[in-house]
Amino acid sequence: MRSMWMLVAAFMFAGMGVLVKLGAAYFSSTELVFYRSLFGAWITYLILRFYRLSIRTPHWRIHCWRGVTGLVSLLMFFYCLTQLPLATAVSLNYTWPLFAALFSTLILKEHIHWSLVVTVILGFMGVMLLLRPTVPDDQWFSGVMGIASGFFAAIAYINVKQLGNLGETEWHVVFYFTLISTVLTGVWLLFTSFSPITGHGLLLLLGIGLAATLAQLAMTRAYHQGITLVVSSLGYSTVLFSSLWGIWFWNEILSPVAWLGMGLIVAGGLFSGILGFKLTPAVTSK
């Protein structure tokens, strides 16, 4: 059940994706990352002060590594959202659970359970059936960036798991990630330019920041307390929520193949939850 926090994160990440796509008409991808991170850093700092938690950490090296890899992934993903169709960008980014499944064995030394690996693959098959992405010949660079965003996201999520094992709270993990992202993108924008902020644009930025911060907190708790492969499988539900957002806002009509893909995603998440519950005693998590 601890891994189910990823469902909350998935719902919020899907909402963030919709808002980013809308915000691309007003801001560059770097600006969207900057404002998203600035909002998150401000909110988590206030929460840390409210609970009188120290901001200092002895694990600053891992925080820096998590911050840099997470920022690289986020910049690539936001760039893809502004350059590619939403379905293509999301599906390319969601190669990260496959990378995370590999890294959890190589880096975290978690014992590999092939039944859980199968559920991850099952979920990815659902993603491909649901989104059926295509990359035009003149957009292969954006496509490679999308896959690279999944690679770096997997490293960042493994770092989140490591920080959880070291006893870092989700507040500290999110705070340092958003702080590093804000500083680095802010410095970059100082040497480029900022777009003017309209009333509509401000609302989009606030929505992106709020959704991203809540998603980060839920995702961090999931990786702190859950089993890595189970959380990775549940991450596919972001695609399911994105499809529902599309129906609600744009009246998108899904084909039978798309519904089959959604069914595979749900099945993969449910099977991973059941298997993860049974395998919990054999896996060290915190």
285 assigned to some structural domain: no
134 assigned to some structural domain: yes
Residues with Cβ within 8 Å of residue 227, at least 6 apart in sequence: 3, 110, 116, 276, 279, 280, 283, 285
Q: Quick one: pLDDT at residue 281?
A: 40
Residues of the chain with pLDDT under 70: 1-3, 87, 98, 101-102, 104-116, 130-138, 228-229, 232, 252-254, 262, 266, 268-286
Of 268, 236, 261, 269, the residue nearest 128 (C-alpha): 261
3-class DSSP state of 108: coil
Q: Is the dihedral of CA 103, 232, 69, 88 positive or negative?
A: positive
46 assigned to some structural domain: yes
Q: Is 123 in contact with 265 (CB distance < 8 Å)? A: yes
268 assigned to some structural domain: yes
Q: Is 195 in contact with 26 (CB distance < 8 Å)? A: yes
Q: Quick one: pLDDT at residue 131?
A: 63
Q: Quick one: pLDDT at residue 243?
A: 76
30 assigned to some structural domain: yes
Q: Please state the domain count of the chain.
A: 1
3-class DSSP state of 54: coil
283 assigned to some structural domain: no
Q: Quick one: pLDDT at residue 283?
A: 36
- What domain range is 147 assigned to? 4-278
284 assigned to some structural domain: no
The CB density around residue 181, as the number of other CB atoms within 10 Å, is 24
Tell me the whole-structure pTM to 2 decimals. 0.78
Q: Which two tokens stand for residue 220?
A: 């961090």
